[in-house]
Amino acid sequence: MDKCSTTELLKATKTKMTDARSKILNILLESETPLTANELHIAVSDSSSIDLATVYRALKVFVEKGLARALHIDGETIYYEKACEHNPLHAHFHCEVCGAVECLNPFGFDESSAFMKMAKDKEISSVELVIKGRCSKCV
């Protein structure tokens, strides 16, 4: 399967299904790059009148249920991306010139065990790693 089904993900995580939630989740599943709440809002409002507060509430639920990751990339805007099997944990690159955010290759077994080792007696709920600099267009 090359894409998760919105309905099945919501069902599997016992998340209440609403029209707005399925639409928002579907955009996250289809996007290859992290999106901000504003970008998601613009994308859903093409087809229906869902307000920004609804988008924020849905995203909060998705993060709690492990369907999405919240990324604190530049300390201001929060970005969201799918957290299903099609999008394993990875670091992000943030261009300090143009603001572009890029997903890097997924962490392999070695990197993952390194994180586990660093936090040995702790319970990890999320790992965020942001590499900053200039992207290839801005060098």
Position among 86, 106, 126, 133 found at the interface with Zn ion (CB under 5 A): 86
Residue 89 in the binding site for Zn ion (CB under 5 A) = no
The verdict on 4 binding Zn ion (CB under 5 A) reads yes
Residues 30-69 that bind Zn ion (CB under 5 A): none
Point out which residues pair with 78 in neighbouring strands: 72
| Contact set for Zn ion, span 13-32 (CB under 5 A) | none
Long-range contact set of residues 110-119: C-beta below 8 Å, sequence gap at least 24: none
Residue with tokens 């392999």: 108
Distance CA 60, CA 77 (A): 14
Nearest approach, Cβ of residue 118 and Zn ion (Å): 21
Per-position DSSP letters for 99-127, written without gaps between them: --EEEEEEP-HHHHHHHHHHTTTS--S--
CB-nearer residue toward Zn ion: 45 or 135: 135
Among 70, 95, 127, 130, binds Zn ion (CB under 5 A): 95
Helix then strand count (H, E) for the chain reads 5, 6
Q: Which one among 62, 81, 83, 94 touches Zn ion, defined by CB under 5 A?
A: 81
**Joined tokens for residue 108:** 């392999």
Stretch that binds Zn ion, among 41-49, 53-61, 78-86, 119-127 (CB under 5 A): 78-86
Nearer to Zn ion, 119 or 138 (CB): 138
